[in-house]
């Protein structure tokens, strides 16, 4: 399939060729003819599939007959409305609109909050045909009475699942109610929950459903890896990983804004050029951080899920989950930053004992067991247990290698390139610098009941290897 077989106008084909695109991505090949025919569409597509062009190109073609070079605002009413959940995604969609419409006299604007509304009002008054907006700012503009939706022909709701997560559905519903009933509507979402289906019922009429990747799946070009690690050693491990030659441009995810700032500062102190991006930063600071990351001034961008949504960074090779998300769908979204448009990517997750159950949820969702690799010197907590037995252990020991993982996903030991294992760490991770501890009752050393219980084979996983202990004489042994 070639772009010129899709029935697109020469001005759009020229813009596509300017972008260097050679063949349509699967969602483009499927969606473009449907949107050109005027039908409603429900698109199941993750970020990185080329979905922005899949809806922007045919919609631009639909308004092409109205394109006018006239300076009169009356000739440029809002004809296409595109809603995105975050400023970053809105900007990314807007940039695509500008790229694809550069040979057409069509005016477009991106309206998002956190910046002065007046210039946006001013531009709208001059006439805007394609308006890309976040829902909150759009409603602010509606209140300013500078918008007239009577000529809206098409509505796009991008990343509807994130709209839902961020609590925007009431705003979106209010906006939908302001639009002409006769219009084309397109809804895109990486995942389809019942709420999304309900929203689709309200918004779409007899939509054509297309899904380019199975729901909640991740790109096959991504290599996933888990490093089981003690929570207290995560920072040190992250620094070690980032300093290894494997990494050049890395998006690191944390769960909270506070952690995002703190981690970026600590990385800077460790000599790694890093910055952070989250919702409390001003729009200007966020864009500055993003630009520095894109142009390679910073090696690491630490981000929250919300802030990272919609970041479009070409050829981003690595994503590291400093903390794994508690909602498995967020893993899919985070990983959507890498492996885009068929490129190779790595997704690394640092997982501590208390996060194993979230890891299991993620594996269930993506229908894949992720390889677990222990980095010597960065072993997980004593009670790291995969799969989790559901029994919380309350005893704590110094970090020791944990073989309490299912054999198929048992952590492998890894040697990072150019880094030697410290001499006090044995091949299987046993730390000789720590005092000897026995796991079973010992004639001269008192042991706790917890120790005794743990030293026995796990009742639910009798096949599991038991804890590695050092034989008192004769080195390492596996009891």
Instruction: Return the residue of 314, 408, 444, 474 that touches ligand AMP, per CB under 6 A.
Output: 314
Residues in contact with ligand AMP, shown as a per-residue x/- string from 338 to 367 under the rule CB under 6 A: --xx--------------------------
Say how many C-beta atoms besides its own lie within 10 A of residue 233's C-beta. 20
Nearer to ligand AMP, 17 or 248 (CB): 17
As beta bridge partners, residue 184 has: 154
Nearer to ligand AMP, 97 or 106 (CB): 97
d(C-alpha 160, C-alpha 253), whole Å? 22
| Per CB under 6 A, 337 contacts ligand AMP | no
| Per CB under 6 A, 451 contacts ligand AMP | no
Nearer to ligand AMP, 54 or 252 (CB): 54
- Count of residues engaged in binding ligand AMP, rule: CB under 6 A: 15
Q: Name the one range near ligand AMP by CB under 6 A: 24-32, 74-82, 173-181, 256-264.
A: 24-32
Q: Name the one range near ligand AMP by CB under 6 A: 41-49, 108-116, 452-460, 465-473.
A: 41-49
Q: How far is the CB of 160 from ligand AMP (least distance, A)?
A: 15
Nearer to ligand AMP, 35 or 274 (CB): 35
Nearer to ligand AMP, 89 or 365 (CB): 89
d(C-alpha 351, C-alpha 321), whole Å? 8
Task: List, in order, residues 6 or more apart from 28 with CB less than 8 Å away.
Answer: 6, 50, 53, 54, 57
DSSP state of 322: S
| Per CB under 6 A, 333 contacts ligand AMP | no
d(C-alpha 469, C-alpha 401), whole Å? 9
Burial 362-373 (b: 16+ CB within 10 A, else e): bbebbeebbebe
Nearer to ligand AMP, 28 or 349 (CB): 28
Under 8 Å between Cβ of 161 and 153:
no
DSSP state of 115: S
Kindly state the helix (H) or strand (E) to which residue 359 belongs, with its residue range.
Answer: helix 356-366
Nearer to ligand AMP, 129 or 312 (CB): 312
What is the CB-side half-sphere exposure of residue 377 using CA atoms within 13 A?
15
Classify strands 412-413 and 468-470 as parallel, antiparallel or unpaired: unpaired
| Per CB under 6 A, 219 contacts ligand AMP | no
d(C-alpha 398, C-alpha 239), whole Å? 21
Q: Name the one range near ligand AMP by CB under 6 A: 17-25, 29-37, 398-406, 436-444.
A: 17-25
Burial 256-269 (b: 16+ CB within 10 A, else e): ebebbbebbebbee
| Per CB under 6 A, 309 contacts ligand AMP | no
Instruction: Return the residue of 47, 153, 216, 372 that touches ligand AMP, per CB under 6 A.
Output: 47
| Per CB under 6 A, 48 contacts ligand AMP | yes
Q: How far is the CB of 98 from ligand AMP (least distance, A)?
A: 12
Provide the edge-to-edge strand list for the sheet that holds 108-111: 108-111, 130-133, 80-83, 154-157, 184-189, 41-44, 208-211
Residues in contact with ligand AMP, shown as a per-residue x/- string from 50 to 89 under the rule CB under 6 A: xxxx------------------------------------
Helical H runs in 230-320? 234-243, 257-269, 283-294, 305-308
Length of the chain: 479
Nearer to ligand AMP, 130 or 439 (CB): 130
Q: Name the one range near ligand AMP by CB under 6 A: 22-30, 202-210, 213-221, 256-264.
A: 22-30
Q: How far is the CB of 384 from ligand AMP (least distance, A)?
A: 36
**DSSP readout, 436-466?**
P--SS--SSS---HHHHHHHSPPSS-TTSPP
Q: How far is the CB of 344 from ligand AMP (least distance, A)?
A: 15
Q: Could you list the residues that contact ligand AMP (CB under 6 A)?
A: 21, 24-25, 28, 47-53, 312, 314, 340-341
């Amino acid at each position: 399939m070639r772009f010129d077989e899709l029935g697109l106008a020469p001005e759009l084909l020229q813009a596509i060729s300017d972008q260097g695109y050679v063949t349509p991505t699967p969602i483009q090949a499927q969606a473009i003819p449907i949107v050109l025919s005027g039908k409603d569409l429900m698109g199941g597509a993750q970020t990185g599939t080329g979905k922005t062009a899949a809806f922007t190109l045919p919609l631009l073609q639909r308004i092409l007959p109205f394109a006018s070079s006239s300076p009169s605002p009356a000739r440029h009413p809002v004809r296409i409305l595109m809603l995105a959940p975050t400023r970053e995604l809105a900007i990314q969609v807007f940039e695509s609109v500008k790229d694809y419409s550069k040979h057409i006299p069509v005016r477009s604007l991106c309206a998002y909050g956190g910046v002065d509304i007046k210039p946006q009002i001013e531009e709208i008054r001059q006439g805007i045909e394609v308006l890309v907006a976040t829902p909150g700012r759009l409603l602010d503009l509606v209140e300013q009475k500078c918008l007239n939706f009577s000529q809206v022909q098409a509505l796009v709701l991008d990343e509807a699942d994130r709209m839902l997560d961020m609590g925007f559905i009431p705003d979106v519903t209010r906006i939908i109610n302001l639009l002409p009933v006769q219009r084309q509507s397109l809804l895109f979402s990486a995942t389809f929950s019942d709420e999304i289906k309900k929203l689709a019922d309200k918004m779409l009429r007899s939509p054509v459903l297309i899904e380019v990747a199975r729901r909640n799946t991740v790109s096959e070009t991504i290599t996933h890896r888990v490093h089981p690690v003690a929570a207290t050693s995560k920072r040190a491990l992250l620094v070690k990983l980032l300093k290894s030659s494997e990494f050049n441009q890395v998006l690191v995810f944390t769960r909270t804004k506070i952690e995002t700032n703190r981690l970026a500062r600590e990385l800077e102190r460790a000599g790694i050029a890093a910055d952070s991006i989250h919702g409390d930063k001003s729009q200007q600071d966020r864009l500055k951080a993003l630009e520095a990351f894109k142009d390679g001034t910073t090696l690491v961008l630490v981000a929250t899920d919300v802030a990272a949504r919609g970041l479009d960074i070409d050829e981003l090779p690595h994503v590291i989950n400093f903390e794994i998300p508690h909602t498995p769908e967020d893993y899919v979204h985070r990983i959507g930053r890498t492996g885009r448009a068929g490129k190779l990517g790595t997704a690394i997750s640092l997982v501590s004992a208390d996060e194993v159950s979230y890891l299991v949820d993620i594996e269930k969702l993506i229908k894949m067991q992720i390889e677990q690799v222990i980095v010597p010197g960065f072993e997980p907590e004593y009670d790291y247990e995969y799969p989790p037995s559901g029994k919380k252990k309350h005893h704590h020991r110094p970090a020791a290698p944990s073989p309490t993982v299912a054999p198929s996903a048992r952590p492998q030991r890894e040697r990072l390139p150019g880094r030697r294992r410290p001499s006090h760490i044995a091949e299987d991770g046993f730390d000789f610098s720590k005092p000897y501890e026995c796991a079973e009752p010992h004639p001269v050393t008192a042991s706790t009941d917890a120790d005794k219980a743990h030293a026995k084979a796990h009742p639910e996983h009798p096949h599991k290897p038991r804890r590695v202990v050092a034989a008192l004489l004769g080195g390492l042994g596996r009891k």
